[in-house]
């Protein structure tokens, strides 16, 4: 079938260096590494406790994956059902092929209301399309109201985590940003602001309340969009979401088309999986559900923008489509040894961490330096799959993307070629032994030194050292210490030639004494 369009890389991330180059800078930032190590260790412990309480956790994961697969496999049907139910309840549904179209819809709606500002609930979809920048260009201020987003926006920074975008900032840095910047865009921080989290939260409450009370237009995302009822769901902690979803006259919700759930009953599964995976709580403080317009309660003008922006292309990939199950909980980030050390910025996207390493190349294709490098931003340890509440097999998807990147770079598959070569070597014991002798010769030449790279294995050796070949093979060692005599360096010792290949064919030729 014809290729579906990729997602354009947003201006912020155009020309991003490879993950490995960007990570080198992040690794040198010791303050950020300390902040990340502390935060991810905290959240890992909380998640483990919250998940450990639930006896049926593995069943919930299966049900969560099944619910998302059901929606994804029949996405056009469920989207039409969602649209019909939303429309029946007084909402207006818009469709956006890409970021530019979605941004235009929101700008036009805000302008039609005469608004020069909107309040915003933290939303990955609107970050992805860089809606704030589009609104600003149209002369409309977009106020982020989630505490972490506020920290990022005031600090003129970029988010580095899906759930806690300011995870790279500690309390002292946050105090400094609030004290320095709040006054320029609204109510200033109290003069005696300290770095106690309670005081920082209070400063955000005071700063944002005037914006909530006067706002006429709000923009949100949605965690779930329920097809069989038309219900939208926002899961949050602070109450800023409730403020935005309740007080303004007009509510515009930008929803990635993969957010659809088939039925309201599926929420029973998702509302158990998401909070425990995400913040490690039994339940997040606030979850809001609304179905179109409710007369005399909340916004009387409700818009929903259904966003494609590369998702249909991912869906067309029969294997890669499982990445669209993602419910943006960020559990995979918190358990990832690579993310913990590099932080989120090196991933060159609003979606960092293991899921970002999969999702970005799927959404944007693998033509840019950063997207080519992301599948290699992993040690393939598998912790992300174990933590994923909807069972996305991230390591397998990464391996598949690696071979795609290599194929595209070489016009053929280098991995396939090297595997073919390996099969030829392993297929005959003489060839194997010859190659082992060649390797141990290299090992003796190297002594104790480490191999930093090998031509032809660029992407692989960029982030890791090669094991130094041993000075002696297992076969040589065996022959020398247990065998009939010193290794001849040629054929097998006499008397072994009639044995079948099994016991004698080591699958790990580097194994030695």
CB of 102 to another protein, least distance (A): 10
CB of 360 to another protein, least distance (A): 19
Rounded-to-10 torsion of CA 404, 405, 406, 409: 120
Size of site (CB under 8 A) for another protein:
103
CB of 372 to another protein, least distance (A): 24
- Residue 203 or 487: which CB sits closer to another protein? 203
Q: Binding to another protein by residue 180, rule CB under 8 A?
A: no
Interacting positions 46-65 with another protein (CB under 8 A): 46, 54-56, 59-60, 63
User: Who's near 271: CB < 8 A, 6+ residues apart?
Assistant: 235, 283, 287
- Residue 78 or 376: which CB sits closer to another protein? 78
Interacting positions 19-48 with another protein (CB under 8 A): 35, 38-39, 42-43, 46
Phi-psi category of residue 330: left, alpha or beta, with phi > 0 → left and psi -120 to 50 → alpha: left
Q: Which two tokens stand for residue 266?
A: 């599926």
Among 27, 116, 185, 286, binds another protein (CB under 8 A): 286
- Residue 23 or 243: which CB sits closer to another protein? 243
> Is the separation of the CB atoms in 186 and 207 below 8 Å?
yes
> Is the separation of the CB atoms in 208 and 111 below 8 Å?
no
C-alpha to C-alpha distance for 135 and 130, rounded to whole angstroms: 9
Q: Binding to another protein by residue 202, rule CB under 8 A?
A: yes
- Residue 198 or 498: which CB sits closer to another protein? 198
Q: Binding to another protein by residue 174, rule CB under 8 A?
A: yes
Among 17, 285, 483, 504, binds another protein (CB under 8 A): 285
Q: Binding to another protein by residue 134, rule CB under 8 A?
A: no
Backbone angles phi, psi at 464, to 5 degrees: -150, 155
CB of 454 to another protein, least distance (A): 39
Interacting positions 413-432 with another protein (CB under 8 A): none
Q: Binding to another protein by residue 253, rule CB under 8 A?
A: no
User: Who's near 274: CB < 8 A, 6+ residues apart?
Assistant: 223, 235, 284, 327, 329, 389
Q: Which two tokens stand for residue 217?
A: 């237009």
C-alpha 480: how far from its chain's center?
52
Q: Which two tokens stand for residue 427?
A: 């297929």
Backbone angles phi, psi at 425, to 5 degrees: -70, -45
C-alpha to C-alpha distance for 48 and 326, rounded to whole angstroms: 19
CB of 80 to another protein, least distance (A): 7
Interacting positions 328-387 with another protein (CB under 8 A): none
Collapsing DSSP to helix, strand or coil, 451 comes out as strand
Among 13, 78, 224, 339, binds another protein (CB under 8 A): 78
CB of 403 to another protein, least distance (A): 21
- Residue 106 or 243: which CB sits closer to another protein? 243
* Candidate ranges 233-241, 325-333, 395-403, 442-450; the one touching another protein (CB under 8 A): 233-241
CB of 145 to another protein, least distance (A): 8
Among 110, 243, 333, 405, binds another protein (CB under 8 A): 243
Among 308, 371, 433, 472, binds another protein (CB under 8 A): 308
- Residue 128 or 266: which CB sits closer to another protein? 266
> Is the separation of the CB atoms in 144 and 219 below 8 Å?
no
Among 246, 300, 403, 462, binds another protein (CB under 8 A): 246
DSSP states of 225-260: EETTTTEEEEEESSSHHHHHHHSSSEEEEEEEGGGE
Judged on CB neighbours under 10 Å (0-12, 13-18, 19+), 254 is buried
Interacting positions 150-169 with another protein (CB under 8 A): 151, 164, 166-167
Among 52, 73, 379, 456, binds another protein (CB under 8 A): 73
C-alpha to C-alpha distance for 293 and 291, rounded to whole angstroms: 6
> Is the separation of the CB atoms in 242 and 293 below 8 Å?
no
Q: Binding to another protein by residue 296, rule CB under 8 A?
A: yes
Q: Binding to another protein by residue 226, rule CB under 8 A?
A: yes
C-alpha to C-alpha distance for 367 and 380, rounded to whole angstroms: 23
CA distances to 106, 140, 166, 186, 473 from 25, rounded to whole Å, are: 36, 35, 18, 34, 40
Interacting positions 90-119 with another protein (CB under 8 A): 94-97, 101
Q: Binding to another protein by residue 502, rule CB under 8 A?
A: no
Q: Binding to another protein by residue 198, rule CB under 8 A?
A: yes
Nearest to 51 by CA among 67, 39, 38, 64: 64
- Residue 159 or 375: which CB sits closer to another protein? 159
Q: Binding to another protein by residue 508, rule CB under 8 A?
A: no
Among 138, 141, 264, 429, binds another protein (CB under 8 A): 264
Collapsing DSSP to helix, strand or coil, 302 comes out as strand
Q: Binding to another protein by residue 501, rule CB under 8 A?
A: no
Q: Which two tokens stand for residue 271?
A: 């509302």
Q: Binding to another protein by residue 316, rule CB under 8 A?
A: yes
- Residue 14 or 37: which CB sits closer to another protein? 37
Tell me whether strands 286-290 and 141-144 are parallel, antiparallel or unpaired.
unpaired
C-alpha to C-alpha distance for 263 and 193, rounded to whole angstroms: 47
DSSP run (H or E) holding 141 = strand 141-144
CB of 391 to another protein, least distance (A): 14
């Amino acid at each position: 079938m014809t290729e579906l369009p990729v997602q354009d890389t947003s201006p912020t991330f155009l020309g991003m260096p490879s993950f490995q180059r960007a990570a080198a800078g992040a690794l040198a930032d010791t303050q950020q590494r300390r902040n990340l190590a502390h935060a991810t260790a905290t959240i890992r412990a909380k998640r483990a406790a919250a998940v450990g309480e639930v006896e049926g956790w593995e069943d919930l994961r299966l049900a969560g994956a099944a619910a998302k697969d059901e929606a994804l496999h029949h996405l056009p049907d469920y989207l039409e059902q969602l649209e019909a139910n939303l429309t029946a309840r007084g909402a207006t549904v818009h469709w956006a092929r890409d970021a530019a179209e979605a941004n235009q819809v929101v700008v036009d709606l805000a302008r039609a209301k005469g608004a020069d500002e909107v309040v915003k609930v933290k939303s990955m979809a609107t970050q992805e399309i860089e809606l704030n920048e589009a609104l600003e260009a149209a002369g409309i201020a977009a106020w982020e109201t989630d505490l972490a987003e506020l920290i990022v926006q005031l600090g003129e920074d970029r988010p580095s985590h899906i759930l806690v975008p300011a995870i790279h900032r500690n309390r002292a840095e946050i105090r400094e940003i609030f004290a320095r910047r709040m006054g320029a865009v609204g109510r200033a921080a109290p003069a005696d602001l300290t770095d106690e989290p309670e005081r920082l939260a209070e400063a955000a409450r005071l700063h944002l309340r005037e914006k909530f009370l006067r706002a006429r237009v709000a923009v949100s995302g949605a965690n779930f969009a329920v097809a069989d009822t038309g219900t939208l769901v926002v899961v949050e902690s602070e109450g800023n979401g409730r403020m935005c979803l309740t007080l303004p006259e007009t509510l515009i919700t930008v929803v990635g088309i993969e957010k659809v759930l088939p039925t309201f009953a599926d929420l029973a599964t998702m509302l158990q999986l998401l909070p425990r995976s995400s913040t490690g709580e039994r339940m997040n403080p606030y979850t809001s559900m609304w179905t179109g317009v409710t007369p005399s309660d909340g916004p009387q003008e409700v818009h929903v923008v259904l966003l494609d922006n590369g998702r249909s292309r991912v869906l067309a990939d029969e294997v890669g489509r499982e990445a669209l199950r993602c419910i943006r909980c960020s559990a995979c980030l918190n358990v990832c040894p690579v993310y913990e050390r590099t932080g989120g910025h090196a991933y060159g996207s609003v979606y960092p961490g293991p899921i970002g390493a999969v999702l970005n190349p799927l959404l944007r294709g693998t033509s840019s330096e950063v997207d080519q490098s992301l599948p290699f931003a992993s040690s393939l340890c598998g912790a992300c799959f174990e933590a994923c509440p909807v069972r996305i097999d991230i390591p397998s998807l990464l391996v598949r993307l690696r071979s795609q990147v290599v194929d595209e770079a070489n016009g053929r598959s280098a991995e396939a070629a090297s595997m073919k070569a390996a099969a030829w070597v392993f297929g005959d014991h003489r060839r194997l032994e010859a190659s082992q002798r060649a390797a141990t010769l290299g090992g003796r030449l190297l002594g104790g030194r480490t191999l930093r790279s090998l031509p032809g294995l660029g992407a692989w050796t960029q982030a890791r050292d090669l094991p130094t070949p041993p000075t002696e093979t297992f076969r040589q060692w065996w022959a020398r210490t247990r065998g009939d005599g010193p290794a001849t360096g040629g054929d097998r010792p006499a008397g072994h030639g009639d044995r079948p290949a099994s016991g004698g064919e080591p699958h790990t030729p580097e194994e030695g004494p």
